[in-house]
Structures are given as structure tokens and as C-alpha cells.
Amino acid sequence: MYEGNRSDENSFPKKKIVHLNPFQLRYIMKTIQTHDWLESLKPLFKKYGTRKHPLEHKNHYQLLVMVVLSARDSDKHINSIAPALFERYPSMKELAKATPEDLYPYIGKVTNFSSKAIWLTETAKVVGKDENIPHTIEELTALKGIGRKSANVIMSESGDEMEGGIVDLHTLRVSPRIGIAIGTNPVKIEKQLTEKIPQKYWKQLGMSLTFLGREICRPTNPKCPECPLNGVCEYYREKG
């Protein structure tokens, strides 16, 4: 899920490819690992750590449905179509009675709506009722249309104990810029982030990096002078 211009999200600034020898790579990894990232990220947590997720859900059921719908669409759009959908299908139990086609009038303008309609109606039939919505990564990712990132968002917003960190397109972009992680693989980025930040901060971590990417650390022209991390950010140090 993300906000704004879709093509903008993928327009990473072009970077020169730098080949590192094993010694340089080991040195960089050691520097990343020994840095006190919790301390460095505290100004970011202070700014964004208690922000509510932009999806305007009222319960666990609505959260799950909206997270599935928001994949490759904007939270703002999903917030606009959700009230009518939830008026007609107020719970898993009601949704379980629907066919995928029944959902089209409500979600027809959502990206990839036909697949999402199949996933949601199948999920509703599997889960049956709201109280049965899973609370673990393993069970959530077993449902159609829910990957690891979506499962982490659902757990984070439900108040469940986090089993990982939320790594969306924003986190994927800003983490290597800051210097807290390297690479482009979401699973590897998540591992590096959660190794450096204690579990009790994982919810704040996910929300903070996402909001940083949405509002300040944009794909092009990041607003570094106003960023709470400009004192520790590698990208800013190199470019500034």
C-alpha cells in the first residue's frame, strides 16, 4: 500500500554502481552492526511513532479487508470506498455469503479488484467469523492476498506482539539511504532492521520509516534539511 503517484514510488534516483572488495564490505557491515540505531532513530520515533495507520478501520475485520484492498492502491482511495463496502458486508460472516462478483460494485475501481474479490470471499469462507481472524504471521500469510508485509501491518494495528517489522516500498527505499540496512530484498531488510532494534519498538519502527518515506524522504528530492535523521543519515552525509 502506498500513497500518491504510483510511478513516483518506483522512480529511484540513478546511482553509480560501486564494487566493494570483501574487506570493504566487512567493514561496512561491521559499522552498520555496531552503530546504536535505537538511539539514532529516537527522534524519528518521537515524530512518527504514535501515528495511527492511514487506513481508517474500525475493527480487526475491516483492517484485514482494507489491507488486502490497499495492495498496489492508495490508502486514501481505500478509505473512500470502504464505508459502502462495510455497510453491505459488516463482518466476515456476511462477507462469507458473497460471491466475488457481488463485491464488484463496491471495489470495482480498486487495483486488481477481481483477484482481490476472490481472495476476500475465500478468506471469509475460511475464517468464518471475525473472532477467528488469526493473530500470527504464519496463519495470516496462509490467507489469500496477505503477504508478510500485510500480515505485519495487521498484527501491528491489532496490538498483537510483532513477529517482524513492516517493510513496504518506503522502508525499502529509506533504510539503505539512512544506512541501517543494505540491499533491496524486503526479507533481508526486515531481518537487518529487527536485529538492530529491540522487539518492543518494531511497531514504531515500521510506522516511523513508512511515514518518513511518505512525507520527507521521497524517491526524488528528499527533504533532508527538515529530516530528524539528517545527523546520522549516510545518504545526506554523502550528498550534503
In the complex with ligand SF4, the residue whose CB is nearer, 9 or 157, is 9
Q: CB neighbours (10 Å) of residue 35?
A: 14
> If binding is defined by CB under 6 A, does position 178 make contact with ligand SF4?
yes
> If binding is defined by CB under 6 A, does position 181 make contact with ligand SF4?
no
Q: Which of 96, 137, 217, 219 binds ligand SF4 (CB under 6 A)?
A: 217
Give the angle 107-110-112 at the CA atoms, nearest 5°: 110
- Closest CB 240 distance from ligand SF4, rounded Å: 8
> If binding is defined by CB under 6 A, does position 229 make contact with ligand SF4?
yes
Contact 118, 99 (CB under 8 A): no
> If binding is defined by CB under 6 A, does position 202 make contact with ligand SF4?
no
> If binding is defined by CB under 6 A, does position 227 make contact with ligand SF4?
yes
Among 193, 162, 159, 161, residue whose Cα is nearest residue 176? 193
How far out from the chain centre does Cα 4 lie?
15
Contact stretch for ligand SF4 (CB under 6 A) within 46-54, 85-93, 180-188, 227-235: 227-235
Q: CB neighbours (10 Å) of residue 162?
A: 20
> If binding is defined by CB under 6 A, does position 151 make contact with ligand SF4?
no
* Amino acid at site 107: I
Instruction: Take residue 30 and report the three cell numbers written for it.
Output: 561491521
Contact 141, 148 (CB under 8 A): yes
> If binding is defined by CB under 6 A, does position 32 make contact with ligand SF4?
no
> If binding is defined by CB under 6 A, does position 172 make contact with ligand SF4?
no
Contact stretch for ligand SF4 (CB under 6 A) within 19-27, 163-171, 181-189, 220-228: 220-228
Residue 201 φ then ψ, to 5°:
-105, 0
Residues 56-95 touching ligand SF4, rule: CB under 6 A, are: none
> If binding is defined by CB under 6 A, does position 222 make contact with ligand SF4?
yes
Please state, in angstroms and rounded to a whole number, the distance separating the CA atoms of residues 116 and 70.
Answer: 10
List CB contacts of 154: < 8 A, sequence separation 6 or more: 60, 63, 64, 67, 140, 146
> If binding is defined by CB under 6 A, does position 154 make contact with ligand SF4?
no
In the complex with ligand SF4, the residue whose CB is nearer, 68 or 227, is 227
> If binding is defined by CB under 6 A, does position 230 make contact with ligand SF4?
yes
Contact 81, 164 (CB under 8 A): no
Instruction: Take residue 25 and report the three cell numbers written for it.
Output: 564490505
Q: Which of 71, 150, 216, 219 binds ligand SF4 (CB under 6 A)?
A: 216
Residues that bind ligand SF4 (CB under 6 A): 174, 177-178, 216-217, 222-224, 227, 229-230, 233, 235-236
